[in-house]
Structure 1
Amino acid sequence: MKFTNYCLSSEGAEVILATSSDEKYPPENIVDGRSETFWTTTGMFPQEFIISFHKCVTISKLTVQCYLVQVLRIEKSVSQDPVDFEQCIERELQFKEGELQTEEFSFPEIQATYLRFIILSAFDAFVSVHKMIAEGIVKDI
């Protein structure tokens, strides 16, 4: 069985909504697979973004690489449209000055066609999201 990262544009993942956008740091950077590029928020919280997988995927582990995020909530949807989200997890993240936060979320396998990430609060006025890794296997609905 081969595990894959479904949060990559090369796997068909797409950021279909982001509550803020800066042309230098667009939301698409979240799914390009590189830590050097990122999406940045432009002010107030909460901020959120939604990743679409274009098919139902089964995820066993999520890794989020970000900076200055204090509280993060992750929700999933298996609908054909980005509606009917259910909360998977909410966690307060640890912050170390000058270091990217790499937070792993392990749970029993979840199925999702969409994941919504809500940044509820931050350690500063702006945060950045660098990379998402959603490990899992494809299952047909």
Structure 2
Amino acid sequence: MTLTESNAFVSMASSADQDYPASNILDSSEKVFWMTTGLYPQEFIITFKEPIEFRHIRFVTSNVKRFVMFTTSNQEPKNFETIFEKTLPNNENNLQITDYTLDRSIDVRHFKCVILAGYDSFSSVHSLKFDAENSRMGKKY
């Protein structure tokens, strides 16, 4: 099941380009993407209408140098906890694939990613996938 089918939506993005909107992060295809509009940091928040539980993340980007990910199970997008931070090697404009497994499953209502630095003025997020169990419906995202 895709993030769009899971009733997830991008509730905040720090930059907007009508040709590369933040909603592209939710698309399962890596051929569409959200592009930042220069300057760092850049961030986005994905909100789930119903909380999910997940343990594994797959994050596909381009020109991202350093990022940090946060989650919260609160009803409102506040009091985030850091779950993962990474510096990526320069991949010369090719896709950067980051797979990360947490040491335990966590409940999430809001997921936030902050791109702290890039290898270029612009970076892109091609996809974000969770290996998740919906705590109420038992579906994969």
Q: TM-score, normalised by structure 2?
A: 0.92
Looking at structure 1, the residues matched to 89 and 100 of structure 2 have their Cα atoms a distance apart, in angstroms, of 14
Looking at structure 1, the residues matched to 53 and 89 of structure 2 have their Cα atoms a distance apart, in angstroms, of 27
Alignment correspondent of 1:121:
117
SS in 2 for 1:10: coil
Structure 1 runs of 4+ with >4 Å offset: none
State the number of aligned residues: 135
- Which has the higher mean CA deviation after the structures are superposed, 89-98 or 106-115? 89-98
Looking at structure 2, the residues matched to 97 and 116 of structure 1 have their Cα atoms a distance apart, in angstroms, of 26
Looking at structure 2, the residues matched to 39 and 51 of structure 1 have their Cα atoms a distance apart, in angstroms, of 13
Q: Deviations over 1:2-54 (max 9, x none)?
A: xx55xx11211101100000000000000011111000000110000000111
Measured on the aligned residues, the alpha-carbon RMSD in Å equals 1.1
SS in 1 for 2:5: helix
Q: Deviations over 1:60-100 (max 9, x none)?
A: 10010000001110000101111111111111112222420
Q: TM-score, normalised by structure 1?
A: 0.92
* Per-residue deviation, 1:111: 1.3
Looking at structure 2, the residues matched to 32 and 96 of structure 1 have their Cα atoms a distance apart, in angstroms, of 22
Aligned match of 2:134 in 118, 121, 138? 138
Long gaps (5+) in structure 2? 137-141
Looking at structure 2, the residues matched to 61 and 28 of structure 1 have their Cα atoms a distance apart, in angstroms, of 21
The answer to whether structure 1 residue 22 and structure 2 residue 22 are counterparts is no
Looking at structure 1, the residues matched to 33 and 58 of structure 2 have their Cα atoms a distance apart, in angstroms, of 15
Give the residue type in structure 2 aligned to 1:129.
Answer: V
- Which has the higher mean CA deviation after the structures are superposed, 129-138 or 95-104? 95-104
The percent of aligned pairs where both chains have the same amino acid is 30
The answer to whether structure 1 residue 38 and structure 2 residue 25 are counterparts is no
Long gaps (5+) in structure 1? none
Q: Deviations over 1:99-122 (max 9, x none)?
A: 200101111212110100000011
